[in-house]
Amino acid sequence: MFDSIARRAPLALIVFSCIALFVPVRGAVAQQPRQVDRPFPAAKRHEIDAVVNRAYAAAQVPGVVVGIWIPGEGNYIAARGFADLRSRQPMRSSYYFRIGSITKTFTVTSLLILADEKKLALDDAVSKYVDFVPNGDKITLRMLANMTSGLHSYTEDEDAVRIIIGNPNRVWTPRELVDAGLRSPPDFPPGTGFHYSNTNTVLLGMILEKVSGRRIQDLFAQQLFAPLRLRHTMWPTSGQMPSPHASGYTQQTLDNTRANATDRNPSWAFTAGELISTLGDLRTWVTSYATGSLVSPELQKERLTWVTLPPNTPARRYGLGIGEDHGWLGHTGELPGYNTAAYYLPEKKAVVVVMVNSDIPVGKANPAPAIFKAIASLLTPQNVPE
């Protein structure tokens, strides 16, 4: 339901996807003592191994990294398969991956921090900051963050998609991306519908840069990476991945054949999906934004105000850059070659992160969410995502 891109013929770009309680004071995560990680008992670990092995095989991906942390029950970290098919390099849990739409959770957290600092307000009109958006006087920053603006997604514009796929080394500006989305009429009047649109989050990133006077990578580093000590989360400045990394495989090509997408330039994703991270950093990050450690209780309440418009339901719904799926709070991310799922379950303070080096679905199932669902079915049977 919250796939960033519908799989539409004849050509579509499958980019980012989404599947979120109460908050300590801002900055508390960085100050809390680290929990002692204890493995699950042997019998439970064998059960998890069996589930991960079956789900990995069913997903038909080159490799997968899985992290599970449930206080009072145990922790589990595993890697399966290959980080690179040509060299047959085994997958390792420390490797870098592109995290796609999980970037949106960083972008919206930055928005909330600036709102806490009174540098902007969630209900400010877009026209207060940029003058080129149709209906900009009726679209608010909140609508950009919760996907109710009506702005068409540039990754559903066939001409833009053909260029992105056909020229993967091209460097895009954020304005070019937004303009590609604005070529199509709005999907609906502002605030009257819900549609997951990458144009929203790219435009939000442009506004964050304007308000802060800083490049988005510098803003993220100051507001998010440094306080949480996310030493392995980074904004790429080219298509080159840091080492060591998993190579990513995709069928998002002009002829639909499988290709290595590792070094494609991600500038076309900007604040909707450009970041790179690791298993360990995503554990810290999903816990932080799902509990609101970097924002005030008031702004965290805004984050967790859910959209009620269809296709949202009480069991599966979207807030401000965060999803809830049967009690799990978080987001998924997809970029050509990579698919990630990272979730937090408040009642257990549980974290599950799944990272795979392929975005090729089996049927209608994307690989990382499918593996996560299998894990949740075993460990949290009362909270199994769709």
Q: Residue 375's domain is classified under what CATH number?
A: 3.40.710.10
Residue 12 falls inside a structural domain: no
The answer to whether 232 and 275 have CB atoms below 8 angstroms apart is: no
Mean local confidence (pLDDT), 50-54: 98
The mean of the pLDDT values for the chain is 92
Residue 81 falls inside a structural domain: yes
Q: What is the pTM of this model?
A: 0.93
Residue 97 falls inside a structural domain: yes
Strand, helix or coil for residue 344 = strand
Number of domains in the chain: 1
Strand, helix or coil for residue 191 = coil
Mean local confidence (pLDDT), 175-181: 98
Residue 386 falls inside a structural domain: no
Asked if residue 26 has pLDDT above 60, the reply is no
What is the pLDDT, as a whole number, of residue 212?
Answer: 98
Reported confidence tier of residue 35, pLDDT bands at 50, 70, 90 = low
In 93-240, which residue ranges form alpha helices assigned H by DSSP? 103-116, 141-146, 158-166, 174-182, 198-212, 216-220, 226-228
Residues pairing with 358 in the sheet: 249
Asked if residue 320 has pLDDT above 90, the reply is yes
What is the pLDDT, as a whole number, of residue 7?
Answer: 35
Residue 11 falls inside a structural domain: no
Asked if residue 9 has pLDDT above 70, the reply is no
**Which are the contacts of 255, defined by CB distance < 8 A and separation ≥ 6?**
none
Domain that holds residue 299: 28-379
Residue 16 falls inside a structural domain: no
What is the pLDDT, as a whole number, of residue 37?
Answer: 83
Residue 20 CA to residue 318 CA, distance in Å, equals 9
Instruction: Report the phi/psi class of residue 102: left, alpha or beta, with left for phi > 0 and alpha for psi in -120 to 50.
Output: alpha
Mean local confidence (pLDDT), 303-324: 98
Element (H or E) spanning 285, and its range?
helix 279-291
Q: What is the pLDDT of residues 328-350, one digit of tens each?
A: 999 999 999 999 999 999 999 99
The answer to whether 336 and 258 have CB atoms below 8 angstroms apart is: no
For 170, the token pair is 């091209």
Q: What is the pLDDT of residues 208-246, one digit of tens each?
A: 999 999 999 999 999 999 999 999 999 999 999 999 999
Residue 126 falls inside a structural domain: yes
What is the pLDDT, as a whole number, of residue 5?
Answer: 32
Residue 209 falls inside a structural domain: yes
Sheet holding 328-335, edge to edge: 89-90, 74-84, 63-70, 350-356, 338-345, 328-335, 323-325, 316-318
Reported confidence tier of residue 2, pLDDT bands at 50, 70, 90 = very low
Q: What is the pLDDT of residues 96-149, one digit of tens each?
A: 999 999 999 999 999 999 999 999 999 999 999 999 999 999 999 999 999 999
Asked if residue 252 has pLDDT above 80, the reply is yes
Q: What is the pLDDT of residues 73-97, one digit of tens each?
A: 999 999 999 999 999 999 999 999 9
Asked if residue 270 has pLDDT above 60, the reply is yes
